[in-house]
Amino acid sequence: MRNKLEMNILKALFIISLGLFINLLRKPPIKDWLLVFFLKSYFATFIDNLLVRKGFLKYPVNLISGFDISVLFSYLLFPISCVYFNQITKTSSVFDIVKKCLYFSVPSAIAEHFLERKTKLINYKKSWNSYYSFLSIAFSFLIVRALMGMIRSLSKTQ
């Protein structure tokens, strides 16, 4: 019965993420947003794999079996949220970027904390906790945003 709840949560999140993905592609420049999406997917996959292999995180229930990481989180939810973050910070100052990063990373960390406590979708192991999740989420948003800032700057000079 418990796994059914988790699978229903994952299916609902998958449907929501597909709708959000289609919506984010409607705002130009689409190439920037796809680049953010793929950069974030790559970054999230790398970090998630590292944390799972080192024993800090475990995903007992997954939408697609055979993966140690959360495919839904690493390949859809996290990259989509990063695209929206980049869209709203495209012309922001550094202070506003950091402030808006909190608008995305705090709810993400709270949601992950809730899922870790109330479901079997994610388990924290060793010394991992919600604070480290928050820091890793915020840091990854800022890293991808900085990379996109550099890419935009370089493309203007070419």
List pLDDT tens digits, range 81-106.
999 999 999 999 999 999 999 999 99
- The C-alpha atoms of residue 6 and residue 120 are separated, in whole angstroms, by 7
φ/ψ of 57, rounded to 5, equals: -130, 155
Q: pTM here?
A: 0.92
Residue 135 has pLDDT above 80, yes or no: yes
pLDDT digits (tens, 9 = 90+) for 57-71: 999 998 888 888 899
Q: How far is CA 87 from the centre of its chain?
A: 15
**pLDDT digits 0-9 by tens, 22-52:** 998 888 999 999 999 999 999 999 999 999 9
Total domains in the chain come to 1
Q: pLDDT value at position 2? A: 60
* Mean residue pLDDT across the chain: 94
Q: Which domain does 92 fall in, by range? A: 2-157
Strand partners, 124: 57
| pLDDT above 70: percentage of residues in the chain | 99
Pairwise pLDDT comparison (138 vs 24), residue with the higher score: 138
Residues contacting 70, CB < 8 A, separation 6+: 48, 59, 62, 121, 122
Tell me what pLDDT residue 67 has: 84
Element (H, E) at 57: strand 57-58
